[in-house]
Amino acid sequence: MTMHLETRAIHAPAAALNGSRPVSVPIFQTSVFAFDDAAACARALDDPEAGFAYSRYANPTTSALEAVAADLEGGAAALATSSGMGAINAVLLGSLRPGDHVIAQRCLYGGTFAVFTELAARYGIDVSYVSGRDPAEVTAAASDRSRLLFLETIANPTIAVSDLPALIAAGHQPGLTCVVDNTFATPVLCRPIEHGADIVVHSATKYLGGHDDLTLGLVISARGEVHRPLWKHTVDLGVAADPFAAWLTLRGLKTLALRMERHCASAAQLARGLAGHPAVTRVHWPGLPDHPDHATAARILAGYGGMVAFDLAGGREAGLAFVARLKLAALATSLGGAETLVLHPASTSHRQMDQASLRAAGIDEGSVRVSVGLEHPDDLWADFEQALAGL
């Protein structure tokens, strides 16, 4: 029977026990598994599907999460890592060699941008940045050394929406591995593998966990031949997810679809209120008709997302003053939880960028990023309105 995503996210696989089965996947909080047979132990170390030997290689709780994540994204297999950056580093370090070339969209999460900068300095891996809107830029940037195209479905923090079908098709022409960070969209709003992506990464710390109480990353591969070498590299890199964090993520997935519906609805109300406020010069939310990616978002997303960004007329000083004046929304670096969180990217998440890099990425000095939570939207707007009035 074919089931909807909402149903599949709730019914994670759990092993049967003497004619019954646990409704919630158990937490296997163990580092090691004992064997009576040395050959069986060796097989488990070589192949995670042959059994469990050591939790850095595989663990029943994390394996259950990986199965659900692969299913929701439409992939062949998944890897759970210790964080979202662990997932990104596992993919990049496992896929690239010194002298390779990467094409990436210009506006990226600051941590990802920092990794690309380090790769260039340490390993001579060149990175060319493109807008994320024009596939011709990918074609023009590709060379014989190009190996990988890195995109974000919804960009952090400008909330730009990448034209995944066109960009991935352009990346595949010269044989690039196409990697998409789907953290902001989640598989509820977009499944990049359906648009041709080879690898999808998530910071499950965000929407998938959904409660600001775990740190975990996911790598989902479209094909088994992509997954297997990444699994081996992840084992050697030592970025395995903790079983308890994996269990918390499984718990969070049960309500993901419901939460995303509320996140999107409240983001719409907040974005429209901000768009009419005199202290705000621009609102970045793809559900607004004047957003440059509105048509793309309507085509590839099943909702416009719970992330909103906006620019304040007073620049950096106004941005810092605004986040300090909020009473309900919290100033914090993460996103995707039940609480509304705000951030001033130029001074925090994207502090690695100089002014020129910020401008090139489309990040204003007065930009504020908002992870719209699950509070009543009227309460949230009242908080934003009083903070804006103080400017």
Please provide the DSSP assignment of 6-30 as one string: HHHHH------BTTB--SSPP----
**Cβ atoms of residues 337 and 286 within 8 Å:** no
Residues 127 and 225 in one domain: yes
Instruction: Please list the active-site residues.
Output: 56, 109, 181, 206
Residues 132 and 206 in one domain: yes
**Cβ atoms of residues 296 and 134 within 8 Å:** no
> For residue 362, what pLDDT band results from cuts at 50, 70 and 90?
confident
Q: Is 167 left (phi over 0), alpha (psi -120 to 50) or beta?
A: alpha
Q: What does the alpha-carbon distance between residue 261 and residue 170 come to, in Å, rounded to a whole number?
A: 32
Instruction: Using the predicted structure, report yes or no on whether residue 79 has a pLDDT greater than 80.
Output: yes
* Tokens (6 digits) for 126: 């060149």
**Entry pTM:** 0.95
Task: Domain of residue 136: give its range.
Answer: 5-253
The per-residue pLDDT of the chain, averaged, comes to 95
**Cβ atoms of residues 325 and 387 within 8 Å:** yes
Domain CATH code at residue 300? 3.90.1150.10
- Using alpha carbons, select from 82, 14, 359, 305 the residue that is nearest to residue 183: 305
Domain CATH code at residue 197? 3.40.640.10
Final residue belonging to a domain, choices 215, 231, 253 = 253
* Tokens (6 digits) for 70: 């692969």
Tokens 């950096």, located at residue: 316
Q: What is the pLDDT of residue 340?
A: 98
At residue 189, the 3 state secondary structure works out as helix
Residues 106 and 173 in one domain: yes
Residues 170 and 80 in one domain: yes
Q: What does the alpha-carbon distance between residue 390 and residue 184 come to, in Å, rounded to a whole number?
A: 30
The number of domains in the chain is 2
- Using alpha carbons, select from 231, 226, 246, 251 the residue that is nearest to residue 82: 246
Q: What is the pLDDT of residues 296-354, one digit of tens each?
A: 999 999 999 999 999 999 988 999 999 999 999 999 989 999 999 999 988 776 676 76
Q: What does the alpha-carbon distance between residue 255 and residue 352 come to, in Å, rounded to a whole number?
A: 34
Which of 11-15, 26-30, 41-45, 113-117 has the weakest average pLDDT? 11-15
**383: phi then psi, degrees, rounded to nearest 5:** -65, -45
Strand ordering across the sheet containing 199-203:
77-81, 217-221, 199-203, 177-181, 146-152, 101-105, 126-130
Residues 171 and 303 in one domain: no
Residues 69 and 147 in one domain: yes
Residues 197 and 303 in one domain: no
Residues 241 and 281 in one domain: no
> For residue 390, what pLDDT band results from cuts at 50, 70 and 90?
confident
Residues 263 and 249 in one domain: no
Residue 58: CB partners within 8 Å, gap ≥ 6?
44, 48, 52
Instruction: Using the predicted structure, report yes or no on whether residue 58 has a pLDDT greater than 90.
Output: yes
Residues 167 and 269 in one domain: no
Residues 128 and 267 in one domain: no
Strand ordering across the sheet containing 307-312:
280-284, 307-312, 367-371, 341-343, 330-331
At residue 377, the 3 state secondary structure works out as helix
Final residue belonging to a domain, choices 224, 253, 282 = 253
Residues 262 and 248 in one domain: no
Final residue belonging to a domain, choices 213, 231, 253 = 253
Q: What does the alpha-carbon distance between residue 88 and residue 82 come to, in Å, rounded to a whole number?
A: 11
Q: What is the pLDDT of residue 46?
A: 93
Whether the bond into 157 is cis, omega within 30 of 0: yes
- Using alpha carbons, select from 177, 101, 178 the residue that is nearest to residue 144: 101
